[in-house]
Amino acid sequence: MNHITIAGRLVEDPVRKEANGSVVTSFRITSGRSGSKSGRLWIDVDTWGRLAGTCHQHLAKGRHVLVSGRLTQKQWADPTTGEKRTRFLVTARDVDFVAFDRN
């Protein structure tokens, strides 16, 4: 069984698209140690259908979320440098909008 739950913060506004007769909203979150880029994990998230509409309507850059879904890793070679690249993608089943109490 492939299942991941991760908390993070959106690094940019979500993007909504039509694909295969359905709606997909994609966004990127960062999770991990704050204050430095090392130790941080960057994860792309795809949401589909009704969840995609809700995420597009209510999420924005900087918002904290808790994402649960299926994790996929994609690897390829950069066409210009030949360097190996890796991308992590979560196909979300659930996205919780997290509000932090700043008191």
pLDDT band (50, 70, 90) for residue 1: confident
Residue ranges covered by each domain of the chain: 4-98
11: Cβ contacts below 8 Å, ≥ 6 apart: 28, 29, 30, 42, 61
- CATH code of the domain made up of 4-98: 2.40.50.140
Give residue-wise pLDDT tens across range 10-21.
999 999 999 788
pLDDT tens digit sequence for 28-66: 999 876 666 667 888 999 999 999 999 999 999 999 999
Query: How confident is the model over 97-102, as a mean pLDDT?
Result: 74
pTM reported for the whole predicted model: 0.84
